Amino acid sequence: MPMKITRQNSLLIAAAIVVLGAAAYFMWTQQSVPDTVTVMNEGPISGAQATFLNLIVQLEPIGFNPAVLTDPRFLSLVDIHVGIVPEAPGRVDPFAPL
C-alpha cells in the first residue's frame, strides 16, 4: 500500500534535507588544524607521541613567581616529618593458603 505524501510529510522531508545539507557543508568547508610536529631527535615517532606533542604546544606556558619563596608565610612553614618504624617482613605470598 503506497504511502500518501501529505503537506506535513513533505515539509518534514524538505527540512531534513536542508539540515543534512547544511551539516555536510559545514563539515566539508571547516578548516582543519594542520598536524605538524617538530621533533628534535631523528628517531621514528608514533601517532600517540605526535598527538601528545601537539597538545603540549597548545598549552599556555606556566609561569612561577619566585617571590613566593621569600614570603614570610612560606619561611614560617615547619616540617612535620614523622619517622617510619621498620617492621618485620611478612610472608612471601600473603594470598597463598596457610
Q: How far apart are CA 98 and CA 96, in angstroms?
A: 6
Q: Which pLDDT band holds residue 32 (cuts at 50, 70, 90)?
A: low
Give the pLDDT confidence of 33-53 residue by residue, as tens digits: 555 555 566 666 788 888 888
Give the pLDDT confidence of 44-95 residue by residue, as tens digits: 678 888 888 888 888 877 778 889 899 999 999 998 988 889 988 888 898 9
Nearest residue to 33 (alpha-carbon basis) of 56, 58, 59:
58
